[in-house]
């Protein structure tokens, strides 16, 4: 096992929110995101990644794809290899192809997900030796099988998770805190999918804090969840809280706005 590779990163790829983000997909209507405010939040997010010692590559907005700010769904990055995925929502089909030239410029090796299955990056949690892939309305069995073969060839063990149906993406309800620890909602943890890990569960009423990311020395989480913050800080984590209200209106959390990787 390669210790710490799941949260030590040298780079991150982000994409500016398009003006069309106001028509992004959402399960329930909580109003449209405000583009100016989204841009301001996005800049703070980029700043936080830089403060965590990542070199951040910020790509131009793609007006044709309202959800393209959620760049994590279009690819999976494992060390020097990027895997261009096939996002499962019709309006997002072209996002991988749009990202491909950047992946080819940045990574030593780029693999396109074989076959015709679908996988959204938001359904993938990478730990030091496992790639947990949640089936969801965006990620299907064929996508899982194809990705499982690819990551096995890269030295990871793929594991299929049956995401509870009320959850959009597997990672909507969880995030990695360190090599052996996951933060997750009670509902997801209750499935037993993290039984091989130490699990810290989100306090009642703060489930939306679950989609956090560990980047080098920092845990980045959405602001407005004081119990979660306190819980993580008293467990010894260095926490950075970021505003995320505009992304949240269209079901976006912190993980989806970057692809994080370590080039070696
Ligand atoms: C969507 O429904 O595709 C976007 N509005 C939100 C995507 C969030 N991505 C993620 O959690 N990985």
Mutate to test the pocket of ligand 1, among 15, 22, 68, 70 (most ligand atoms within 8 A of CB): 70
Distance from residue 104's CA to the centre of ligand 1 (Å): 24
From the CA of 66, give the closest atom in ligand 1.
Answer: 5
Is the confidence at residue 163, as pLDDT, over 60? yes
User: CA-CA distance, 89 to 13, in Å (whole number)?
Assistant: 21
Mutate to test the pocket of ligand 1, among 250, 254, 260 (most ligand atoms within 8 A of CB): 250
State the DSSP string of the chain: --TTTTT--SEEEEEPPPGGGGG---SS---PPPHHHHHHHHHHHHHHHHHTT-EEEEEPP-TT-TTTT-GGGGEEEETTEEEE-B-SSGGGTTHHHHHHHHHHHH-SEEEEPPSS--B-GGGEEE-SSEEEEEE-SS--HHHHHHHHHHHHHTT-EEEEEE--TT-SSGGGGEEEEETTEEEE-HHHHTTTTTTTSEEEEPPTT-GGG---EEETTEEEEESS-HHHHHHHHHTT-EEEEE--HHHHTTT--SGGG-EEE---
Per domain, the residue ranges of the chain are 11-261
The token duo for 117 is 């299955």
- The CATH-assigned architecture of domain 11-261 is 5-stranded Propeller (3.75)
pLDDT at res. 229:
98
- Let me know if 77 is a catalytic residue: no
User: CA-CA distance, 263 to 134, in Å (whole number)?
Assistant: 26
- Let me know if 169 is a catalytic residue: yes
Q: Which of 169, 174, 193, 241 is catalytic?
A: 169
Q: Which of 14, 77, 174, 256 is catalytic?
A: 256
Cβ-based neighbours of 153, under 8 Å, separated by 6 or more? none
- pTM, rounded to two decimals: 0.97
Distance from residue 217's CA to the centre of ligand 1 (Å): 26
Pocket of ligand 1 (CB under 6 A): 24-26, 67, 70, 72-73, 89, 92, 121-122, 169, 172, 250-253, 256
From the CA of 169, give the closest atom in ligand 1.
Answer: 11
Q: 174-192: per-residue pLDDT in tens?
A: 999 999 999 999 999 999 9
Mutate to test the pocket of ligand 1, among 173, 251, 255, 257 (most ligand atoms within 8 A of CB): 251
Q: 99-156: per-residue pLDDT in tens?
A: 999 999 999 999 999 999 999 999 999 999 999 999 999 999 999 999 999 999 999 9
Confidence of residue 264 (pLDDT cuts 50, 70, 90): confident
Is the confidence at residue 2, as pLDDT, over 80? no
């Amino acid at each position: 096992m390669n210790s710490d590779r799941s949260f030590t990163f040298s780079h991150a790829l982000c994409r500016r929110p398009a003006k069309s983000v106001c028509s992004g997909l959402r399960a329930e209507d909580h109003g449209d995101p405000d583009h100016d405010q989204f841009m301001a939040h996005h800049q703070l997010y980029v700043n936080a990644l830089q403060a965590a010692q990542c070199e951040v590559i910020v790509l131009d907005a793609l007006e044709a794809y309202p959800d393209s700010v959620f760049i994590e769904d279009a690819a999976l990055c494992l060390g020097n290899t990027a895997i261009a995925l096939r996002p499962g929502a019709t309006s997002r089909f072209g996002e991988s192809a749009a990202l491909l030239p950047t992946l080819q410029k940045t990574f030593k090796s780029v693999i396109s997900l074989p076959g015709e299955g679908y996988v959204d990056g938001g359904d993938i949690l990478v730990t030091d030796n496992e790639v947990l892939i949640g089936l969801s309305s965006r990620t299907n069995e064929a996508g899982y099988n194809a990705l499982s073969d690819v990551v096995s060839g890269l030295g990871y063990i793929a594991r299929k998770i049956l995401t509870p149906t009320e959850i959009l993406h597997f990672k909507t309800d969880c995030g990695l805190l360190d090599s052996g620890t996951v933060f997750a909602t009670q509902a997801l943890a209750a499935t037993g999918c993290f039984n091989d890990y130490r699990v810290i569960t989100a306090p009642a009423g703060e489930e939306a804090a679950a989609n956090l990311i560990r980047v080098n020395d920092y845990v980045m989480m959405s602001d407005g969840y004081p119990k979660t913050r306190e819980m993580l800080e008293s467990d010894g984590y260095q926490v950075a809280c970021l505003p995320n209200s505009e992304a949240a209106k269209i079901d976006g959390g912190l993980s989806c706005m970057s692809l994080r990787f370590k080039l070696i």
